[in-house]
Structure 1
C-alpha cells in the first residue's frame, strides 16, 4: 500500500507572515505541493521545502488564474498521489475562503484533509490599525459580511434591516466596488449617516493604508484617495478609536520593502533586526547546502583550524564521525570567522576563538569553507600567509525563491536592494537573471544600497545603478540610511 496523502487547508493570516499559526508553519515545512492564493504573502513560500511544487491560484475580481473546479481537481489529484498538499489561503480558510466546497470534494474522493484556522482579515487588519472590533463602551457585537456575492449585480443580498440595527461593528470583505451600495443600504435601513467608517487596505502588510470617514462621506473620500481592494470596510463606533498612526504604522521602517542580498543558507541577523523595526524583508536568493565528503587526509589534527561558517563546522564534525577520528586527537586551536561559527563549534563542546584573536602564526593554518572562497587566496591570506584550504560545501540556489521574487515584483513589494558584500551582488544577480530581470532595469525602480566600496564596485560592474554607499559598513549605518527616506509604495519593476 502506497503512502497516503493529506490536504492541509491552512489559513495564512491577513498578510504579516508572523501571523501564520505554528501548526500552519509546521505543515508548510513538510509540503510536497503548495497551492496558494493571491492574498497570501509570497514570503511564506520561503518556508516550504526546497523541492516543493508551487501552484499559484490567484483570484482577482472577474479574473481567476485557476477556476475553483481546477483547484479542486488538483487537490484531489495530488492527495491521491500520496503527497502532503498545503492549500494556503489568505486570512482564515473558513471565512469566505470556499473551504466548504473543497472539503466536500476531498470527502467524496476519499482524500484525507485537515483544516488549520488562521487570523481573519476583519480582526487582524483592524488590530493593526489600532481598532478592536469589540469594546465595552462601543461594541458588543461583531459581524463579517461579504462585500460581493453571486447575485447578478454582485451586490450582497442580505438582511440589511437586521444588520443595520442589530450589529454594532460590521466588517465587509472585498467590498470597495460596492461601497456606495453598502453605505446606502445601511443608511436606508436605519443606521445613522454619521456612523464612523474605517477603510483598511492591504492590512497588516507594509502596504497598509487607512481612511476614515462616515457612512455619509466615505464613498467620496475613497474615490478621492483611489482606495482599491484588497480592503476591509469597518463600520461602527469602534472605527473612531483610530487616532493618527497605529502601533504598526508608527514603526520606524514601516512601508519599506527590502531585498537583502544573501550568500548562504542561514537567515541573517540584520534581516531579523530590520523586521523588528517594521520593514518587510526578502532575503534573496534562498540557498541550500551541498555538503562535500572529507577524507582523513583533509583533516590534519596537528594544526590550528579555522572555520569560515557554521556549515563548515557541521561538515567537519560529520566527517570526523564518518572517518572514526577521535576528536581528542586534534591538537591545534579552533577558530571561527564569526560569532555564529564560534557558537556552532561550542555546540560540539569545543573551545573556540575568533580568528581576529589569534596571536601565534607559528603553525600552518588549515581553513575550512565553501566553494566561494576557493579563488579568494588574498582574502584567505589575511588569516594566515601559510595555509591550506579545504572545501567543505557549496551553496546552491533554491529555485522556488525565483517564484517568490516574481510574486513580490508583481505586487510592487520590492523598493530597496541591499548588498552587504561583493559576493551578495553575484548571488542576487544570478537569481534575478533566472527570473528574467536585469540589474539595470530593477535599479531604475528600486534604490540600491551597498555596505562599502567593494560591494559598490561589484554592483556597478554588474550593471546596477548604486544610489548609496554607507558611511560605515554596519547595521547601524544601514538603519540610519533607511530612516532618511520613506520607500515608495507604487513601484513597477518590469
Structure 2
C-alpha cells in the first residue's frame, strides 16, 4: 500500500532473534501492509512470506564485517523510499533499540520529517537464553541483569564499558556480538574481580534449528568455544544462572535437533510437513520440485460438471483433486447440492478431511492409502453399470481406472490439475549436497522424486546423494525413487504426512 500522505511512513520492526514465530502480531501486520521491506541478515526469511507479493524486497544484511550496505546507506535508503510515498517496513533482527542501531535510524527519520513507528521485538538476549534453558534472573541466583555490547564502535577513543562495575556489581551479564572479543571480555571480567569459576554460556544461532550452546567458566570458555568452532552470530551469558541449563534445557533436546532435511513438496502444500519437522528440531530446507497448477483448459472438467446427474460415484485420489474440483464447481455457479445423489470415495484420511471441509463425508476410505486399496475397498460394493467420475492429476497412474472398468464401471477420467517442474533452488541444493550439509531428502509423491532428480546433474546424482538419507511416503514413491537410481532408506508404514514424520523420528 502507499501512504495517503505525499511522504510515506517507516515502521522499525523487531523481527526477533531467529525463530519466525517470535515476531509480534503488530510486526507481522506492518510487514503485510508495507510496499517496501528493508531487511537484515538476522531477520528470518520466513517472515518475508507475510509481505505483499508486489512489495519491493531490499536486503541490507550485515554479517562479520561484510556489509551489503553500510549504515549510512541504509539510513539514506529508508528516507528515500519514504519520501517517494512508500510505507516502509524496516525489518531488524532482535529488537530495534537493543544494539540494533534503531535509535540512529529514528534520528535520521526525525531530521527528514518522516513519520515513523517502532515495533519492539524479542531481543536475542531474552530469546536465546530462554531457548538454551537459562533464565536471566532467578530468585536464588540474581535479581539484576545487564546487556552489554561485545563490539563497541571502533571509532571511539576509549571504551565506555565500566568493567569494574560489571565484574562485581551485576549478577547476570549478556554480551552481544562478542565472540571475536571473548578472550578480552573474559580477561577484563577476571581482571576486575569476577571469579575465574563464574559459569559462562555462548549461544550461537539462538532460537533456530542451528542453535548450539557451549558452556564453561570464565577460565575455560575461550578454549571451549574455540574447540566447538563457535562463530558469530552468538551471545555470551555470564553468571550463576548458566548452571540452571543442566536441568532446564529443552530446545536442543528435541529428537531432530540439527538435522537438515530437504522438503521437496510443492511450496503451497509443504507447510504441514515443514511445521512438524521444525517443531521436532529439524532445519527444513524448502526445495519444491513441483508446482501444482490448473490444467491448460477446463473443457473436460466443465463437461463433467454439466452432466453430474449421470454419475453415481466421484473418486478423489488427492487433496489437490478435491480442491480443484470444488473450485471449478463453484466457478460454474453450482455448489455441493449438485452432488446430493452422488457417493464419494477418497484415497486416504487427508483427502477425506479435505472433502469434509467442502461439506461432504466420504462413503469409502480404504485402510491403505494408494490406488490399489481403493480398488480393494470397492470389491465389497457392487459397481457394475455405475458411472464414476475421477478428477485427478494429468499424469496419474492408470491402475485405478483400469481396475474399476474391469469391475464393470464406466470411468470418466478428467484432469483437475497438473504438476509442473520447478527449478528454483537447484543451485543452492547442489551446493549443499556438495558441502555435505544435507542429512535427509523427503519425497511425498512420484512427481517430487522425478523432478528432484532432474535438478541434479545426471552424471553426479549418485555421488551427491551417496550419504544422504532418502525418506519416502509410501511404496509407489519408493519404487519411483529406486527406478531413478536412488536408495530408499526409510518408508512410511502409513502413507500420510504423519506417517512419514513418524518414520523419520524412528530413524533418528
1:455 paired with 2:464, answer no
How far residue 233 of structure 1 moved from its aligned partner, in angstroms, is 0.8
TM-score normalised per structure 2: 0.80
Once the two structures are TM-superposed, the CA of residue 230 in structure 1 deviates from its matched residue by 1.5
Q: What's the secondary structure of 2:139's corresponding residue?
A: coil
Find the partner of 2:64 among 61, 67, 70: 61
SS of match in other structure, 1:353: coil
With 214-223 and 155-164 compared, the bigger mean Cα shift is at: 155-164
> Partners in 1 of 2:216 and 2:431 — Cα distance?
33
2:340 aligned with 1:340, yes or no? no
1:420 — aligned with what? Answer: 444
233-242 vs 286-295, greater mean Cα deviation: 286-295
Judged with a 3 Å threshold, the aligned counterparts in structure 2 of structure 1 residues 471 and 371 are, in CA distance, closer, same or farther, namely closer
Q: Deviations over 1:251-295 (max 9, x none)?
A: 111111211220462235444433332223344318765446746
Question: Quick one: distance in 1 between partners of 2:270 and 2:36?
Answer: 23
State how far apart, in whole Å, the 1-side matches of 2:320 and 2:477 are. Answer: 24
**Where in structure 2 are the equivalents of 1:28-43 lying within 5 Å?**
28-29=31-32, 32-43=35-46
2:260 to 250, 257, 267: 257
Question: What residue number does 2:363 align with?
Answer: 353
Partner residue in 2 for 1:316: 325
Structure 1 partner of 2:392: 369
Q: Where does 1:234-313 land on structure 2 (aligned, <5 Å)?
A: 234-243=237-246, 246-263=249-266, 265-267=268-270, 269-285=272-288, 290-291=293-294, 294=298, 296-299=302-305, 300-302=307-309, 303=311, 304-313=313-322
Give the Cα–Cα distance (whole angstroms) in 2 for the partners of residues 8 and 118 of structure 1.
12
Partner of 1:148: 151
TM-score, length basis structure 1: 0.82
Task: Tell me by how many angstroms 1:428 deviates.
Answer: 3.7
1:328 aligned to 2:304? no
- Does the CA contact (< 8 Å) of 2:62 and 2:69 recur in 1? yes
Q: State the alpha-carbon separation in 2 of the partners of residues 315 and 38 from structure 1.
A: 38
1:401-480 → structure 2 map (5 Å cutoff): 414-429=438-453, 432=455, 439=461, 442-443=464-465, 446-452=468-474, 454-456=476-478, 458-459=480-481, 466=487, 468-470=489-491, 472=493, 474=495, 475-476=498-499, 479-480=502-503
Shift, 1:417, TM fit: 1.2
Contact 1:338 1:354 in 2 (8 A): no
On the 8 A contact 1:416/1:448 being kept in 2, the answer is: yes
Structure 1: give runs of 5+ residues left out of the alignment: 486-494
Q: Distance in 2 between matches of 1:150 and 1:108?
A: 23
Look up the SS of the partner of 1:206 in the other structure. coil
Report the CA distance shift for 1:447/1:93 in structure 2 as closer, same or farther (over 3 A): farther
Paired with 1:83 and 1:308, the residues of 2 have a C-alpha distance of 46
1:435-483 CA-to-partner distances (Å, cap 9, x unmatched) read xx974565256433334554345445656x5362437465557645555
| The one of 64, 73, 87 aligned to 2:90 | 87
Cα drift, residue 174 of structure 1: 1.5
Matched residue pairs, number? Answer: 480
Render the CA deviation track for 1:332-382: whole Å, top value 9, x for unaligned: 223333433333333333333345355343322212234453xx3345545
Change (3 A) 1:315 1:418: closer
2:263 and 2:284 in contact (8 A); partners too: yes
Is the deviation greater in 337-346 or in 187-196?
337-346
2:194 corresponds to: 191
SS in 1 for 2:138: coil
Partner of residue 226, structure 2 = 223
Query: Would you say the 8 A contact 1:144–1:171 is kept in 2?
Result: yes
Kindly state the Cα deviation for residue 148 of structure 1 after the two structures are TM-superposed: 0.4
SS of equivalent residue, structure 2 residue 148:
strand
For 1:5-20, list aligned pairs within 5 A: 6-20=9-23
Preserved contact between residue 415 and residue 446 of structure 1 (Cα < 8 Å): yes
Partners of 2:10 and 2:89 within 8 A in 1: yes
Gaps (5+ residues) in structure 2? Answer: 367-376
Residues 392-443 of structure 1 deviation map (CA, whole Å, 9 limit, x = unaligned)? 344568888779979988998643211233211234456x569xx9745652
